[in-house]
A and B are shown apart, each in its own frame.
Chain A
Amino acid sequence: MTIGHVVDGDWQELERSWADPSGWRRLTSSIDHKTIGRRYLITAFAFFLLGGVLAAVMRLQLARPGHPLVGPDLYNQIFTTHGTTMMFLFAVPVMQGLGIYFVPLMVGARSIAFPRLVAYSYWMFLFGGVFLYVSFLLNAGPDVGWFSYPPLAESLYSPSKRADVWAQLITFTEVASLAVAVSLITTAFKLRTPGMTLNRIPVFVWSQVVTSFMVIFAMPAVMLASTALILDRLVHTHFFDVEQAGDALLWQHLFWFFGHPEVYIIFIPGSGLVSTIVTTFSQRRMVGYLAVVLSLVSTAFMGFGLWVHHMFATGLPQLGESFFTAASMMIAIPTGIQIFCWIATMWSGRIRVQTPMLWILGFFGIFIAGGLTGVMLAAVPLNTQLHDTFFVVAHFHYVLIGGAVFPLFGAFYYWYPKIAGRPLGERLGRWVFGLLFTGFNLTFFPMHVLGLHGMPRRVYTYLPELGWGPLNVVASVGALLMAAGVVLFLVDVLALGSRATADAGANPWSAGTLEWATASPPPPGNFLHPPTAGGREPLWDNTPAQPVVTGLRTDIREVLVTHVLDAEPDHRQRFPDPSAWPLLTALATTALFVGSIFTPWAVVWGAIPVFVTLVGWFWPKSAGDAGTQPWPIRSRTLPRPGEAPAAGGVL
């Protein structure tokens, strides 16, 4: 079902209405979800490269005992910045970037909900990341770990501004991800095309919805904690100050109440990607769709009930420990169900092993190993031995790189033709996969053994007589292979990808979801007549008589708002025009956040520019073109060229 056949309506007018402004105003004012999504993806990937460079320096430093390359002060900044980058500036934003780009397309919408808020979110994310790296280059990079435990992070033990930089970076990224979360939920619930009832929402969109809800419940805990930490440091409150009857453990509860769900905030979109790619490359509808979606939801709920397994070494009552052990093991069940559903889908499908699918096969090998070491770590007697050793480093890299980065690379090869309009080369893609898969296992598998041999985490060096040298050399060689893989990937995308002239076509993989129903790359406004959904995989399920949405204006930005449950049309909504106010508001917010690590008065005076820019942002439009319109025309079938109009084309 391609749009090109449709006879009425005006593509040019639609594109004019939805186009980004031209020239430098495109940079400052774009609110197109595809432009912002692309920026999100590219920026997050740039931070992935920076975090990777830091990781490579750590691997060089640890390659031999007593290596004088990096001293403890710099090493602590490096591992803290590496963890903080990968968690807050890469893993979460890159998944949200995919959501921003593809959720509106997959639900057949012309735009993401609250596009200006999404633009604001991007700027906050970018400025937060720049703030962290400028601080790092000024030798003020955070150095107390990505978990920033007080009292070490309190001003008595960390008197410089480094811990403040960390805490304020958290505020930046949390504001950004909360803004995206509400936009994605609203998009998936209110902007779905008619016919896409709740049980037809693509699994990837479900994964983004579930993740967004987790963001909304988890992120406030860490924002609260990091704000309390800043208050302790700046105005001498005593939340975590033991000398003044504060509580050092309070931080750990607040932090891990966020920190554990964070793992699932990263993994759940990854699993959504696996479902998407497995379905397309098995050329078969997902087996157990309902079970998979419910697994995502139950994983999200359970994800909030196991934070204490990060704290088994603090000395909790045994009954409490047993509860959290049980919860931590139980969460393997929904993940197991998803894996079984993927296997069943492949089992009964026609598999094409093309590059995206290759990454998913790599995902299975790595992630299952990481999941199993996770079950082992849930057992208290093992946990208290392995906690904070390299075994844990191996475990969570297997889970996060396996569960999120491999599906992400798969998704990149899968969706690159859609984003760029050109396919990526198959052969080079296989090399990239081979290098990363080999390099990954070479780097992280030996770390299991190192951990079992007692090597603790976060050490800048170790004594030669401990015998950890040889395996560390292996790990460092593996890291070089991974680096080579990433460089080859960049060559593939930047040099060769931009030279390729082949046209990817609208649907190169014969996939079933709606992002493939429009041109590659999607034009501004996405769909002239959004296709309706006749099944879970509309492009496979829709009959030629499937109606499309008509009656939406093309001379202004107008989208169709539908009901949450059954996606019945509700009303037409006028969407905002491009604006630089989100950027200006983000600049004002940045000034407030950065200023407040130096003086509490920044919160007072900094609020004024934020207020002014928000007034500009929300300045009322003239009455004539604002607001909500009733929905006068129902969807109808449009005749294709050479076909008689289909009967019964009303939804």
Chain B
Amino acid sequence: MLWTSAVVFVVVVGGVLLALARGTRRGAGETPTTPDSSLHRGIVISTVATTVVLIALLTASVWAGRGVASQRAEAAVSIAVTGHQWWWEFEYEDALPSRRVLTANELHLPTGRPVVVKVTSRDVIHSFWVPNLQGKRDLIPGMTTAIWLQAAQTGRFRGQCAEFCGLQHAHMAFDVVVEPEGQFEHWLDQQRAPAASPTDGLASRGLEIFTTQRCGRCHTIRGTDAAGQAAPDLTHMASRLSLAAGTLPNSAPHRRAFVSDPQATKPGTQMPSNPFTDQDLAALTAYLDTLQ
């Protein structure tokens, strides 16, 4: 389609330039000689050619659309995607509730197996887009739609919100990890487990801060008292590639900085600034490090 367009561009602009060359060569006294009938014939032929090219492009478009839309299969991985200002909730569905996996901002997909992504939104309209996998699909509150996709090769890709959704639309990304089936199942198993209890004193103190201060009102860490629903599930947050919906690399210093002042990196985010003391911040960071 790009090449067809490029050829059409060259032909039409070429026509303009030819006409320009002919028209400017004519002297002031000269009268135009081309009869109207041959000009009209030229216009009709060009119009027919345009129509033929457009029909060809339309056919190609509908054909490709059919190909994209006809991916259906049994035994697909089913993932419910919910958009929030400004992060992604991913739930891997399973008939057994205990086998469901809830995570955020990082999507793992197996190669060679169809995946159905069911999208909706909790607040405003977002759009789910992983350029390397598939076109966009809007996340519209009040309705759920599904797209099918199938990853051909392993790799790490980036997804990004593609519908303007407010202050931090620019920082609403997620990571996509496409891996072989075995690794994918292993990852699912690991995600199903509750968070490990901290063993050293500093991390235990961190857990205490997390559950007794305000963190747990919005975030969930399964296996602890923190069961908030308004913000990303952090049960295995240290295992993820990035922090704050694809905004920062997920390292301990970044975690510490983000927890203490999220508004510095993501102005407008729903997460408030937290005036913790240095000791508390160190304990909290040590605890978050354990959430593998």
Contacts and interface: CB of A to CB of B under 8 A. Distances in A.
Interface string B29-54: 01011101001101100110011001
A287 B123 contact: no
B54 A329 contact: yes
Interface string B136-167: 11101111011100000000001011111111
Contacts of A385: 131, 135-136
B267 A73 contact: yes
A282 interface: yes
Main SS of the interface on chain A?
Answer: helix
A381 interface: yes
Contact of A157 (B27, B124, B137): B124
Interface residues of B, number: 77
A71 interface: yes
B5 A152 contact: no
B75 interface: no
A624 interface: no
B23 A313 contact: no
A601 interface: no
A322 interface: yes
Given A314-B140, A340-B47, A73 B39 contact: no
Contact of A313 (B5, B138, B143): B138
A462 to B, nearest CB: 7
A72 B19 CA distance: 49
Interface stretch (B61-69, B226-234, B253-261, B277-285): B61-69
Contacts of B69: 318
A500 interface: no
B10 to A, nearest CB: 10
Given A72-B168, A346-B19, A376 B1 contact: yes
A368 to B, nearest CB: 5
B141 A248 contact: yes
B57 A379 contact: yes
B2 interface: yes
A346 B160 CA distance: 48
B67 to A, nearest CB: 8
A288 B45 CA distance: 14
Given A372-B8, A388-B162, A72 B167 contact: yes
Nearest to B85: A157
Contacts, number: 214
A347 B166 contact: no
B125 A288 contact: no
Nearest to A154: B124
With a 10 A CB-CB cut-off, give which of A71, A284, A375, A381 has the most chain B CB atoms: A381
Interface in A323-377: 325-326, 329-330, 332-333, 336-337, 339-341, 343-344, 346-353, 361, 364-365, 368-369, 372-373, 375-376
B54 A376 contact: no
Contacts of B43: 287-288, 291, 337, 340-341, 344
B142 A456 contact: no
A520 B60 CA distance: 54
Given A340-B42, A454-B131, A248 B142 contact: yes
A461 B47 contact: no
B170 interface: yes
A325 B140 contact: no
A51 B135 CA distance: 32
Given A287-B39, A287-B40, A375-B5, A315 B57 contact: no
A474 interface: no
A302 interface: no
B161 to A, nearest CB: 7
24 contacts: A72-B168, A73-B267, A152-B125, A157-B123, A247-B142, A248-B140, A248-B142, A288-B43, A315-B146, A329-B54, A332-B54, A336-B46, A340-B43, A347-B18, A348-B33, A353-B24, A361-B16, A365-B13, A368-B9, A372-B5, A379-B65, A388-B162, A388-B163, A456-B161
Interface of A: 71-73, 76, 144-145, 149, 151-152, 157, 242, 247-249, 282, 284, 287-288, 291, 313-315, 318, 321-322, 325-326, 329-330, 332-333, 336-337, 339-341, 343-344, 346-353, 361, 364-365, 368-369, 372-373, 375-376, 378-385, 387-389, 454, 456-463, 466
